[in-house]
Structure 1
Amino acid sequence: MLLGIPKIISPELLKLLMEMGHGDEIVLADANFPAASHSQRLVRCDGHPIPELLDAILRLFPLDQYVDKPAALMQVVPGDTVATPIWDVYGSVIEARTGLNAPFETVERFAFYERARGAYAIVATGEGAQYANIILKKGVIV
């Protein structure tokens, strides 16, 4: 155990967060995301919701301040009528931790998959909300 590390952050996830450099990306994937087949490095956080993980991660590293949108969401597929209230939750968490308002870009589903394949790591969660996947771009530690 260490002081100051949120308990939801496993040793494996902490190691990956420490290895990441400026501009590296990490995907927090919902329970429906094909995480194992898309990842270079996979961390399992089954049973954990993404908002709780997002808050814990943002306690440990900043988002990239040199890009307009340091977080990316998977766009709702055209014609799908599902609501995405979890995006508002993410926005609240990010604003509370970083002060950033409207930090998101939306990425078409298959483009999101491609971007996820190039991410430093994917965190597979138990998040049940649809379109709950989020990519974070790590910033500079000063």
Structure 2
Amino acid sequence: MLKNLDPLLSADVLHALSAMGHGDELVICDANFPADSVARATVTGKLLRLDGVDAARAIRAVLSVMPLDTFVDDPALRMEVVGEPDTVPAVQREAQAEVNRAEGRDLPFASIERFAFYERARRAYCVIATGEQRGYGCFMFKKGVLLAPDAPQGNRT
């Protein structure tokens, strides 16, 4: 056991999160997503799992240790509902609440079309599969940086 770490985060997931660099992306996906085949094309080349939890709970765990990128407009993406890009299902609203909580502010998801999501996911650092059974519980996050308090913060581009 480790102090102040979400017990949901396994050693494999923590290793991947720690190894990721600024701008690397990770996918948190539902049980319907082709996670294993997509994960084989990622940087890690293997699927990571957080079985038995829904997407929102997995997002809470991951964002408890991973900063989101503040240098891009859309560090959090959600998969669009096919044919209804403006529809935001309950699973995505729950995930949105976790992102806002982790960031301490409203940070709306940008949306990405389903097949574009699959293609971009193949270029991600890693894929984390959850036990989420509802459709469209698929999300992508871009890792940010943690700077020392006295370090220059830089301009957001």
1:83 is displaced (CA, Å) by 6.3
Q: Which runs of 5+ in 2 are unaligned?
A: 148-157
SS in 2 for 1:122: strand
The separation in 2 between residues aligned to 1:61 and 1:140, in whole angstroms, is 9
TM superposition score normalised by structure 2? 0.84
Choose which of 113, 135, 141 in structure 2 pairs with 1:136. 141
The separation in 2 between residues aligned to 1:90 and 1:106, in whole angstroms, is 13
Figure out how many residues of one structure are paired with residues of the other and give that number.
141
Whether 2:93 is the aligned partner of 1:88: answer: yes
Choose which of 110, 117, 120 in structure 1 pairs with 2:115. 110
Structure-2 residue corresponding to 1:3? 3
Q: Are residues 79 and 64 of structure 1, via their aligned partners in 2, closer, same or farther at CA, if it must alter by over 3 Å? A: closer
The separation in 2 between residues aligned to 1:89 and 1:125, in whole angstroms, is 15
Residues 111-141 of structure 1 show CA distances to partners (whole Å, capped at 9, x for unaligned) of: 0000100000000111011101000110011
Structure-1 residue corresponding to 2:38? 38
SS in 1 for 2:111: strand
1:79 is displaced (CA, Å) by 6.1
The separation in 2 between residues aligned to 1:2 and 1:97, in whole angstroms, is 20
Over the matched positions of the two proteins, sequence identity in percent amounts to 42
Amino acid at match of 2:35: A
Tell which has more relative contact order, 1 or 2 (C-alpha 8 A, sep 6+): 1
Amino acid at match of 2:58: L
Structure-1 residue corresponding to 2:77? 72
Contact 2:38-2:122 within 8 A present in 1 as well: yes
The separation in 1 between residues aligned to 2:121 and 2:130, in whole angstroms, is 15
Amino acid at match of 2:126: A
The separation in 2 between residues aligned to 1:5 and 1:78, in whole angstroms, is 39
SS in 2 for 1:123: strand
- Which of the pair has more CA radius of gyration? 2
| RMSD of aligned Cα (Å) | 1.6
SS in 1 for 2:37: helix
The separation in 1 between residues aligned to 2:62 and 2:137, in whole angstroms, is 16
Amino acid at match of 2:69: D
**Following TM superposition, where does structure 1 have runs of at least 4 consecutive aligned residues deviating by more than 4 angstroms?**
none
**Which is further off, 107-116 or 89-98?**
89-98
Q: Which runs of 5+ in 1 are unaligned?
A: none
Q: Are residues 83 and 65 of structure 1, via their aligned partners in 2, closer, same or farther at CA, if it must alter by over 3 Å? A: closer
Q: Are residues 15 and 101 of structure 1, via their aligned partners in 2, closer, same or farther at CA, if it must alter by over 3 Å? A: same
